[in-house]
Amino acid sequence: MKKPQKPEYKKIDPSPLFKGLEESLSFGTGVSWFDNLRRKKFSYLKEKKIDSLATFLGEKHGKFFSENALLLSIVQTKPQIKKVGVDDFKKYDQKLSGILRISLDEADFVIQEEMEISGGILSADLKSLKEKSDFLDGLKTAYMDSNRTVLENFIVAHGLYNAYLSIPDGLNAADPFLIQIDLTAVDGFLPLNIYVRIGESSQASLLIDVTSGQNENQPVLLSNLHVEIGDGGELDLLQTGQADQQALLFSHEKAIIGRDAVFNSFIIDNGGKLVDRTISVDLYGRGGSADVTCLYTPKNEQGYFYDTAQNHHASDTTSDLLFKGVIDKSGYAWWKGNILVEAGTKGANGYQANNNLMMDETAKVESIPGLEIKTDDVRCSHGVTMGNVDDDQLFYLRSRGIDLEEAEKLIVEGFLTDTLKRVTKEEFHKEISEKIFT
């Protein structure tokens, strides 16, 4: 397949970007160390030569931006943060441990009383967590990471939209937590920090859902998702994106996994003009494991980009990645993956697969797997497939009176169904089935 030409980026005046960011700094969070860090990040960014969208958002996807994106508008309001009553749980069909909702004007949250008494945290208000020293130590380390990209530093510098989830050692949160992000009223960049900490020998599950409704503007979600799982801990994470066709979604995701810890991540992307996820899974403890699954369905000039890294820093670690795409008319998907096994480790087992079903001759896919092995005692491999709808399958279904549209739908469902076997959290099965089979 012919490789798309690298887009030409227009030079831009970065002053509106920095003006908007500087105005956001005038809204303090009430936490001195965090506000000081925001100002340091701002100074760092001013030293960078941000003269094009490539510098700020990456080099892969210039054709997906409207001319309005060149104005680099940024949300300059501070959301009203409030803790709501437990009656809000009645609005949801399933039982939840906590709910956090973020929109342009508000960030409200609630956590089950027994969970809060046991030391669990779900909050959008950093000021209210000043007594949680263990939590804050981890948060400071994550925010001060010197390896962050320009975009990641920008998100931290803005610092007005945040979501925090923490489960203390030895606690099992039986019911999922929910973070809802509504972009309906957003016009321009909305930066969001999400920090998740799962303590040692603890278990939790989290659903992050992004929507935008009907929006005549172009909302741009810029998010940092940082996950830490302590020794023996376990997290099931489900992310769903059903944003409006004008929305742009950028997500930098990093998971740090301890000894014998388990991370199960499932992503569904079927909305947004552009989706760009950079995903890093870092296995630092012996016996740690990670399963990462993603289903994506670009069409009608949508472009979905994924850059994944499975980093084995310790012995006897396991990572298994499966990305599956159904690419329809004029859709575009790009995946690059790498498995790293550090020197001095033994028994690492890493696998990555990218399978794509192209529904139309105008669909385009690029897939770039990679292995970086620095030791001998490993089991690492990868697999990539790209194909069209099978004519024999289609003929078989049509010969039994099934019309073309329904036949293609059945083939797509068959292509995606096996991913449900990777879902370990029973509560997520219904959510995933509704998203991918409707």
Residues 74 and 205 in one domain: yes
Q: Pick from 264, 285, 306: which residue ends a domain? A: 285
The pLDDT of residue 172: 96
Q: Give tens-digit pLDDT for 302-336.
A: 999 999 999 999 999 999 999 999 999 999 999 99
Q: Which residue has the tokens 């599950």?
A: 205
Quickly state the pLDDT bin for 411 (edges 50, 70, 90).
confident
Whether residue 141 is contained in a domain is answered as: yes
Residues 267 and 407 in one domain: no
Residues 71 and 190 in one domain: yes
Residues 404 and 278 in one domain: no
Whether residue 145 is contained in a domain is answered as: yes
Average pLDDT, the chain: 88
Which two structure tokens, joined as six digits, stand for 261? 């810890």
Quickly state the pLDDT bin for 4 (edges 50, 70, 90).
very low
Whether residue 321 is contained in a domain is answered as: no
Q: How far apart, in whole angstroms, are the C-alpha atoms of residue 182 and residue 209? A: 8
Domain limits for position 57: 15-285
Q: What is the pairing mode between strands 121-123 and 203-211?
A: unpaired
Whether residue 324 is contained in a domain is answered as: no
Whether residue 328 is contained in a domain is answered as: no
In the chain, how many domains are there?
2
Residues 173 and 45 in one domain: yes
**What integer is the mean pLDDT of 112-141?**
93
Residues 27 and 163 in one domain: yes
Q: Which residue has the tokens 């990641």?
A: 152
Please tell me the pTM assigned to this model.
0.92
Q: Pick from 225, 257, 285: which residue ends a domain? A: 285
Distances (CA, A) of 197 to 67, 130, 192, 334: 39, 16, 17, 30
Q: How far apart, in whole angstroms, are the C-alpha atoms of residue 313 and residue 99? A: 34
Residues 92 and 223 in one domain: yes
Strands (E), 30-105: 80-83, 98-102
3-state secondary structure 98-124: EEEEECCCEEEEEECHHHHHCCCEEEC
- The answer for residues whose C-beta is within 8 angstroms of residue 415's C-beta and 6 or more apart is 324, 326, 355, 357
Q: Pick from 263, 285, 307: which residue ends a domain? A: 285
Q: How far apart, in whole angstroms, are the C-alpha atoms of residue 237 and residue 208? A: 8
Q: How is residue 19 annotated by DSSP?
A: H
Whether residue 351 is contained in a domain is answered as: no
Whether residue 112 is contained in a domain is answered as: yes
Residues 168 and 41 in one domain: yes
Whether residue 364 is contained in a domain is answered as: no
Exposure of 172 in the CB half-sphere (CA atoms within 13 A): 2
